[in-house]
Structure 1
Amino acid sequence: MASDDSFSSSPLSISHVVTLKLTESNYLQWKIQFESFLSPQMLLGYVNGSLPRPASTRSVTGAAGVTEEPNPEFQKWIRNDQLFMAWILGSLSETAIRVVYGLQSAQEVWSALAKRFNRVSTTRKFELQNKLHACLKSGKTMEDYLSELKQIFDQLDSIGFPMTDLEKIHGLLFGLGKEYDTVATVIEHSMDSLPTPCYEDVVFKVIAFDDKLKTYSVVPAVTPHLAFQTETAYYDRGGSNNIGGRSCGGYRGKGNYSTRGRGFQNHSSGQNSQNRENGGTKPTCHICGKYGHSAFDCYNRYNESLTKPDLPNALAAMRVSHSE
C-alpha cells in the first residue's frame, strides 16, 4: 500500500495536472489528466477499486487473549480516500456534481461519473459507430478531420470496443472526398497485402497528399480568356508566330490595329494562290504605290497620314485587282 505521505511528496499539485472541469463533452480528456496524476504515485487504486478499504478493526493477541482494536490502516485509507474524493469534486462542473451528490467514497464517485459520462453499453457502441460513419472531411481541414476521427476511436476504446488499424483506416478513407480517390485507391490495395498498413502510416500518406493538393490550388489556372489576352498583347508588341519559317503575324494599320483574329480572313494567301494561277503576276498597290500587293492588303490601308489618292480610281483598281 502507498505510504502515508506518498501523494504529498509529489512535486506537482493536482491543480497543475487536472486543468479541466468535467462536462458532458470532455470526459476522456478529464479522465486522462486524473489518471496521469494518480498512476505514477501508485494511488490510482483508490478510485478504480484495486486498493480496497481495509477492515476498521484488527485482532490483537495479548495476555487477556484475542481482542479487537482500531485498525490504523483503515484510518489512513479513509483519510486518503476522502482527500482524493475532494480532488475529484473540485474538478467537476455543476452538472457533474449533481450526478455524484450523496456518494461516500472516491471509488463510488469515479464509477458514477464513468457511468454517466462514458456509458459502457452496446447502445453507446452503436452511437459511436454511427457517428464515425457520418464523419466526413467535407468543409473541414485535414487536421480537424483527423482529430474528430481520433476522438471517436478513443471513445470506443474507453468503453471496451477498441478498433483495429484496418477498421480505423476504412473509417478514415470512407470520409474523404473524391479529390482523394487517387491516394485512397493505393491505400485500399495495400490493405489486401501483407504486412497490412498501420493507421499511423496511412495518416502520414493522407496528410502528404493533402499538402500536395494545397500546392495545386494556389497555382493560377490558364483560362482561354487569359491565353487570348496574352497572345493579343504579344502581337501588339510586334511579335509573330514563325511556323515553318513563315511569319504568321497579322497585318497592322493605324493604332496597331491587327487584322489577325476572328472576323478577318487571310486575303494574302488567297491573293498569292491567285497570282500563282495567273503565272505569278503581282499587282501594284494604289495606296502606297509599291509593287507586290494590292491596295486591299496594304499595311497603310488605314494610315491617314499618307496622301489620299483619287478615291474612285483607287476603289476601281481594288475591284479590278481582286477580280483578276
Structure 2
Amino acid sequence: MVTLCRKDNNFLKWQYQIEFFLEGYGLFGHFDGSTIAPQKFAVLDEEGVTSEVTTGYKEWLRTDKALMSFVIATLSDDTIEYVSDSKTTRDAWLSLSNPYAMMSHAQISHLKTELQKAKKGGDSINKFLLCLKHIKDQLSVAGISISNDDLMIVALNGLPSEYDMIKTVLIALDTSISFKEFHTQLLTAE
C-alpha cells in the first residue's frame, strides 16, 4: 500500500512507493508509457474506420482512469495542480516528475556544493549519512549520478578528527565495500 501523500518535499519517497506498488500489480506500464492504448475505433475491411469503440480500448481506458484516480488520491492539495490538465496516467506521471527532473543549473550546483561541504558535526552517523543520501537522491532525480564510492569519500571527508583511525582503515582497504558495510563500520566506530 502507498502510505505517503505526495507533497513538494517527498517526491522520491512517494515515487518509490508508487512504482513498487504498481509494478507488483503489473500496472506501471500505464505510467512509464510501455502499456500503449489500443486502437480506439474498430476497423472493418469493407468499411474502414468505424465509430465503434473497441473493447480493448474501453478496458485500457477504464484501467487508466482507475489508476489516475489512485494517483490523485495520493496527492496533497498543493501537488494536485501538477496533474489538473492530465488526460492519462502517463501525462500525470510526467507532470509530477518533470518539476524535479528539470532542476536549474544553479540548484544542481547548490546540491553539489552541499554534498562537498557536508560535515557530521554533532549529528549521529545515521543522520549524517541519511543527509548525504538525500542530497544524492535529489541529484539523481536531476540526472546526476553519484556512485556509492564517491558518496563514501564525501562522508569520510565530512567526519571529525575522532574518526581518523576508521578513516585510515577504510581508505586503506584493497577492495571496495558496499555502502551498507561502510555504514556498519562507521556505526561501530561511533
TM-score computed with the length of structure 2 as normaliser:
0.88
Shift of 1:120: 4.0
RMSD: 1.9
Superposed counterparts of 1:23-102, under 5 Å: 23-61=7-45, 65-67=46-48, 68=50, 69-102=52-85
Which whole-Å CA distance do the structure 1 matches of 2:7 and 2:136 have between them? Answer: 19
Superposed counterparts of 1:303-318, under 5 Å: none
Taking structure 1 as reference, are residues 208 and 45 closer, same or farther at Cα in structure 2, changes over 3 Å only?
same
Which whole-Å CA distance do the structure 2 matches of 1:51 and 1:137 have between them? Answer: 45
Given the alignment, which residue of 163, 166, 170 partners 2:153? 170
Superposed counterparts of 1:148-227, under 5 Å: 148-190=131-173, 193=174, 195-210=175-190
Taking structure 1 as reference, are residues 128 and 183 closer, same or farther at Cα in structure 2, changes over 3 Å only?
same
Paired residues of 1:47 and 1:110 also in contact (CA < 8 A): yes
Paired residues of 1:133 and 1:171 also in contact (CA < 8 A): yes
Shift of 1:50: 1.0
Shift of 1:95: 1.1
Which whole-Å CA distance do the structure 2 matches of 1:209 and 1:136 have between them? Answer: 16
Which whole-Å CA distance do the structure 2 matches of 1:142 and 1:196 have between them? Answer: 20
Given the alignment, which residue of 105, 109, 115 partners 2:88? 105
Which whole-Å CA distance do the structure 2 matches of 1:173 and 1:83 have between them? Answer: 47
Taking structure 1 as reference, are residues 169 and 89 closer, same or farther at Cα in structure 2, changes over 3 Å only?
same
Shift of 1:92: 0.9
- Larger CA Rg, structure 1 vs 2: 1
Shift of 1:199: 2.5
Paired residues of 1:120 and 1:160 also in contact (CA < 8 A): no
Paired residues of 1:47 and 1:106 also in contact (CA < 8 A): yes
Shift of 1:37: 1.2
Q: Percent identity?
A: 25
- Write out per-residue CA displacement over residues 136-159 of structure 1, whole angstroms, 9 at most, x where no aligned residue: 211211221122122222333344
Shift of 1:129: 1.7
Quote the residue 1:138 is aligned against: 121
1:94 match: secondary structure: coil
Taking structure 1 as reference, are residues 89 and 149 closer, same or farther at Cα in structure 2, changes over 3 Å only?
same
Which whole-Å CA distance do the structure 1 matches of 2:163 and 2:68 have between them? Answer: 49
Paired residues of 2:6 and 2:14 also in contact (CA < 8 A): yes
2:44 match: secondary structure: strand
Which whole-Å CA distance do the structure 2 matches of 1:102 and 1:157 have between them? Answer: 27
Shift of 1:88: 0.8
Richer in helix (by share): 2
Quote the residue 2:4 is aligned against: 20
2:101 match: secondary structure: coil
Higher relative contact order (CA 8 A, sep 6+): 2
TM-score computed with the length of structure 1 as normaliser:
0.54
2:184 match: secondary structure: helix
1:59 match: secondary structure: strand
- For 2:101, give the aligned amino acid: R
